[in-house]
Amino acid sequence: MGEIIGRVRNQLNDFWQGLDKNKKIKLGIGVLVIIIVAGIILYTTRTKYEPIFDDLAPKDAGEVTKKLDEKGIPWKEGKNEGTILVPEEMKSKAKMELAMEGMPKEGYTFTDAFADIDWTTTEYDKKQKMKFALEETLSTDLAKIDGVESAKVYLNIPEDTGYVLQEKKSPTASVLLTLKNGSINKNKVEGIQYLVAHAIGGEMTPEDVSVVDNNGKLLTKSEDQNLYEANDQLGLQKMKEDALNKSIKEFLETPLGKGNVEVRTSIKLNFDSEITNVKEYAPPVEGSEEGIVRSLEEMSEKNENSSSGQVPGTEPNTEDEIVDYAQVDQQSSNNSEKNGRTVNYEINETNKQIKKGIGQTDAITVAVIIDENAIGGSLTEERKKEITSLISSATGTDTVKVEISTMAFNKGEVEADEAVEESTTPMWTWMLIGAALAAGVVGGTVVYRRNKLASEEALDDESTLSQLDEMIENAASDLEDLDFEQEKSVMKDQISKFVEKKPEIVVQLLRTWMNEE
């Protein structure tokens, strides 16, 4: 084997040494072009791999790769431990095949717990196995939430001893989250609390579930649930400002031109919680000012009284009891009349509880800069008022403060930055393509020059051939007297030299003569 390799190497060396400088350059350029073209083809047609599973346990990863080998699906390991990659076009097939086999196993499941229970298992062990299975199941489910990389659930379920006087304690749970972006929305945290609490059941409430992130920050607090966390408030404010910036900018770019307007807004939000109770009364019959009579009570009273006294000193008075009185008029009269009417109507009573939404917009400040080159100078006050009115109408609120200014935009740097951002092709790819183009140009130039030289030589050959024909025709009459054995014969020498130099042309000439015959 070594002799063969040595012989081939010597042959290649002799071949290389036998080439002149121009041929060596041509051969080197050709090899370079082939290598570059092959590299481009390999890069554009290479197999792209995508992950199907991340952070698999070593045992699960081994089972998955073994099953992929059985199914004939190529795979390779990712940069992170426990990551399995498969070709992009086979990703869906691989997931379906593995799902049908129940892989990968999602930790310790209830199936595993039941399989581990036999007649020797104590009641305490059964409870512990079921609790562990519940913890693993909840951990797996919580890891599927958007923004959560992994989760671990710890349950504390008090043991029921059966004593009547035993103090009942509610179960508690602790959840450890590893977050992808370092933060999570408060609504998701509340959802995790409700999920864990209802999965355990009993007397457990969402307040009994504590959630902590991987930085040790407590994500659940015993505060008013209606209040937003500080990060939620800033996130909501930024989201509204970005949306308003985009809306106003697109609105103004329609008349002013794309890239001629910059908009920045500042929104003041109200995060106070407010509940208003309203009680309203209305007649049950629409269009009527009175309701339906429910009860009617009428009362009427009339009283008349009349009396007349005797004249002092008359017979009704005894002589022994005569008393001197001042004479007055003893006649009197009393008339009394009282009427009453009470009507009770049936009316509609409406009780409303109005809860003010959190994060309502109180005020908006808008700053607008317009490129003065696009409008041919500064804006007039009337023009500014028109734009201000349009912005106020576009925002949909009355509490808007608008500041408009004109400046000259430096669009050179902006366009350059946009061009860099829009360029998503790696730099080395462009270098490879440039090298291929350069090699192609050089190779094309060499081929062109070689063809040109060959055509020039062909013209020379044709000229020589015509001369040869002329010489043969001129010497046809003396052909019989021509001594071909004489080395000094001029004709023989010319023919011999031509045959040695251009044998292929002589062969073609003879073939032509034979065809003519």
Q: What is the mean pLDDT of residues 256-277?
A: 83
Residue 131 reports pLDDT greater than 80: yes
Amino acid in position 295? S
Q: Which residues contact 481 (CB under 8 A, 6 or more apart)?
A: none
- Report the C-alpha gap between 126 and 123 in whole angstroms: 5
- CA-nearest of 217, 218, 471 to 209 is 218
Mean pLDDT of 441-464: 57
Helix or strand or coil: residue 133? helix
Position 224 scores a pLDDT of: 43
d(CA 56, CA 76): 14
> Span 269-292, mean pLDDT?
73
Question: What class, spelled out in words, does domain 49-101 have in CATH?
Answer: alpha beta
Predicted pLDDT of residue 25: 83
Give yes or no for a contact between 107 and 136, defined as CB atoms under 8 angstroms apart. yes
Q: Which of 360, 321, 136, 121 is nearest to 237 (CA)?
A: 360
Spell 145-163 as b/e; 16+ CB within 10 A means b. Answer: eeebebbbbebebeeeeee
Strands, E assignment, 332-451 = 332-346, 348-355, 360-371, 400-407
Mean pLDDT value of segment 89-94: 82
Give the pLDDT of residue 408. Answer: 83
Task: Please report which confidence band the pLDDT of residue 132 belongs to, taking 50, 70 and 90 as the band edges.
Answer: confident
User: Is 110-159+169-222 the same fold as 49-101?
Assistant: no
What is the spatial distance between Cα 458 and Cα 33, in angstroms, rounded to a whole number?
29
Q: Exposed (0-12), middle (13-18) or buried (19+): which is 359, by Cβ within 10 Å? A: middle
Give the mean pLDDT of 451-462. 54
Task: List the single range of 105-114, 138-147, 285-294 with lowest mean pLDDT.
Answer: 105-114
Q: What residue segments make up the domains of the chain, in order of their start?
A: 1-44, 49-101, 110-159+169-222, 224-284+341-409
Flag whether pLDDT at 226 surpasses 50: no
180-199 pLDDT, tens digit each: 877 788 888 889 999 998 88
- pLDDT over threshold 90, residue 175: yes
Q: What is the pLDDT, as a whole number, of residue 2?
A: 67
Better-predicted residue by pLDDT, 250 or 28:
250
CB atoms within 10 A of CB 52: 22
Residue 73 clears pLDDT 60, i.e. is over it: yes
C-beta of residue 401 within 8 angstroms of C-beta of residue 366: yes
> What percent of the chain is modeled with pLDDT above 70?
63
Q: Comparing 318 with 283, which gets the higher pLDDT? A: 283
44, two tokens: 């554009």
**In sequence order, what are the residues at sequence separation of 6 or more whose Cβ sits closer than 8 angstroms to the Cβ of residue 194?**
206
pLDDT at 53: 76
pLDDT number for residue 228: 45
- pLDDT for 209: 92
Average confidence (pLDDT) over 372-389: 84
Residues 6+ apart with CB under 8 A from 84: 51, 52, 53, 56, 61, 64, 65, 68, 75, 77, 78
Assess whether pLDDT exceeds 80 at residue 249. yes
Longest dimension (CA), the chain: 222
pLDDT one-digit tens code per residue, 148-160: 888 899 998 887 6
Q: Which CATH architecture has domain 110-159+169-222?
A: 2-Layer Sandwich (3.30)
